Amino acid sequence: MINMHEIDLSKYKIRTDLIVEHISNFKEYERHEELYKDIKIETITLDKDSAKLISKKEGIYKTIYFDDATDENNFNDLLHATTIVLKDLLKSIDIKNDDNPLIVGLGNRKATPDALGPLTVDSIKITRQIVELGLPLDPKYRVISSLVPGVMGTTGIETKEIIEGVIEKTKPDFLIVIDALAASSLERINKTIQITDTGIHPGSGLLNNRFEISKETLGIPVIAIGIPTVVDATTIVSNTINYIFRHFSYEKENINNNKLKLVPQFNRNYKNHDKTLNKKEKKEVMGLIGDLSEEEIKTLITEVLTPLGYNLLVTPKEIDFVIEKLSLLLSKALNKSLELN
């Protein structure tokens, strides 16, 4: 007999920066949801107390959910939505017309899934040099500068130190940082943009040992824009276990549905079936594993994969095209939302 409970389910620090994943079962916060065509925009405002409860930072978290940014029509709708979200956030945190940003592209330009930040910055309209050279600047533009600091693995320097040094020399009024994130759900990879005024811990999704980039540490407002582009094997497996439960719940409910019997298994679309199995059924389907909580399952899978070296962080094989589109999207949305009227 194996007794699962001899296994130590000590807390496993989940690799994710997406606020919505942290608070999926959490109630005590202000939450607002809008739709623009197929795109969902969710705004969560955490005050000091609710933030504390989920070990997150106080502030505004805006999440844009979309389906496929490489489709041309979606792209334009998404550009519209992202621009509006950025403008709203700039207003919410009281950025004035004469406030000038430093835009920072975090991540490693030479690792495709991590290149979102650098590639976005490549297409930002930079204007600070015009002013520095004593030339007249079209009044519709802010004074905008940018920085691609690289990653500690290739520079040997904490990202935060480089940013801090440049802020001291160039005195921007606020910071916008763009970074690729790790997702804790298959559903969100390359399909979510999170925009927040709470800053970022570079590498907190992917690695550790980096320093926070935020208003608290840098002294000026920090807007962080992130898109999850990688996911770890543990997440893929634990997500799939949940889908197995939902799948069986759907099949069970439709077991006497003669129409469905004509549909091949691969096409039985239970995407909108949001019920799952009950505790007893889960145990029947998945044995001891079915008896564990979601968190416990994740911990177990991490313990299974890590010693083998297989808890890989992976990215979809089309990542080159996706990153190209998403960085173009963010740079266009930033250029538009920073323009003055």
In sequence order, the β-bridge partners of residue 60 are: 45
Where b means 16+ CB within 10 Å and e means fewer, 265-278 reads: eeeeebeeeeebbe
What would the two tokens of residue 77 be? 């709708």
Whether residue 46 contacts residue 29, with contact meaning beta carbons closer than 8 Å, is answered with yes
User: Minimum distance from CB of 329 to a copy of itself (Å)?
Assistant: 18
Does 6 engage in binding with a copy of itself (CB under 8 A)? yes
Whether residue 294 contacts residue 7, with contact meaning beta carbons closer than 8 Å, is answered with no
In sequence order, the β-bridge partners of residue 104 are: 147, 177
User: Minimum distance from CB of 132 to a copy of itself (Å)?
Assistant: 7
User: Minimum distance from CB of 46 to a copy of itself (Å)?
Assistant: 29
Q: Which of 256, 208, 203 is nearest to 226 (CA)?
A: 203
Neighbours of 99 (CB within 10 A): 15
CA dist., res. 17 & res. 208, Å (int): 12
Whether residue 194 contacts residue 235, with contact meaning beta carbons closer than 8 Å, is answered with no
**Of 114, 227, 329, 338, which one interacts with a copy of itself (CB under 8 A)?**
114
What stretches of 66-139 adopt beta strand conformation (E)? 101-105
Does 296 engage in binding with a copy of itself (CB under 8 A)? no
CA dist., res. 93 & res. 60, Å (int): 9
CA dist., res. 211 & res. 203, Å (int): 9
Does 316 engage in binding with a copy of itself (CB under 8 A)? yes
Site for a copy of itself in 176-195 (CB under 8 A): 186-187, 189
User: Minimum distance from CB of 280 to a copy of itself (Å)?
Assistant: 10
Name residue, tokens 């930002």. 124
**Of 255, 262, 279, 341, which one interacts with a copy of itself (CB under 8 A)?**
255
Whether residue 110 contacts residue 321, with contact meaning beta carbons closer than 8 Å, is answered with no
Looking at 46-54, 75-83, 219-227, 267-275, which segment touches a copy of itself (CB under 8 A)? 267-275
User: Minimum distance from CB of 215 to a copy of itself (Å)?
Assistant: 19
User: Minimum distance from CB of 80 to a copy of itself (Å)?
Assistant: 21
Does 165 engage in binding with a copy of itself (CB under 8 A)? yes
CA dist., res. 240 & res. 223, Å (int): 33
**Of 154, 217, 257, 278, which one interacts with a copy of itself (CB under 8 A)?**
154
Cβ nearer to a copy of itself, comparing 44 with 124: 124
User: Minimum distance from CB of 122 to a copy of itself (Å)?
Assistant: 7
Site for a copy of itself in 115-144 (CB under 8 A): 122, 126-129, 132-133, 143-144
Does 14 engage in binding with a copy of itself (CB under 8 A)? no
Site for a copy of itself in 81-100 (CB under 8 A): none
Site string for a copy of itself, 271-290 (x = CB under 8 A): x---------x-xxxxxxxx
Looking at 45-53, 91-99, 212-220, 248-256, which segment touches a copy of itself (CB under 8 A)? 248-256
Cβ nearer to a copy of itself, comparing 57 with 188: 188
